[in-house]
Amino acid sequence: MVSIEQLMKEALSLPSASRALLAERLVESLEFDVDETIQALWTTEAKNRRDEIRSGVVQPIPGEEALAEVRRLLEQ
């Protein structure tokens, strides 16, 4: 069996996209107790937000701008 250290070394040598996919798959493998009610509520919320943007009710802002605003608020 491969040691965790050896596996980590090999994983870190992968290209960024491959590491991201590996990380995603590992996290997914941990998520075994999904509350279907909460999942349904989040799906509904995501669709509502999508529809608000598509209809023009809400104007999206770039992620970098949003993060800058959060950082500014945290510094106060």
Q: d(Cα 61, Cα 39) in Å, to the nearest integer?
A: 26
Looking at per-residue pLDDT, the higher value among 76 and 57 belongs to: 57
Give me the pLDDT at residue 37, please: 94
E strand residue ranges, the chain: none
Say if residue 31's pLDDT is above 80.
no
Give me the pLDDT at residue 1, please: 84
0.75 surpassed by pTM: no
Give me the pLDDT at residue 29, please: 87
Token readout for 36 is: 């279907």
Token readout for 20 is: 């991201």
Give me the pLDDT at residue 7, please: 95
For residues 34 and 40, the answer to whether their CB atoms sit within 8 Å is no
Q: d(Cα 38, Cα 43) in Å, to the nearest integer?
A: 9
**For the chain, domain boundaries:** 1-32, 36-75
- Helix, strand, coil % over all residues of the chain, rounded to 5: 75, 0, 25
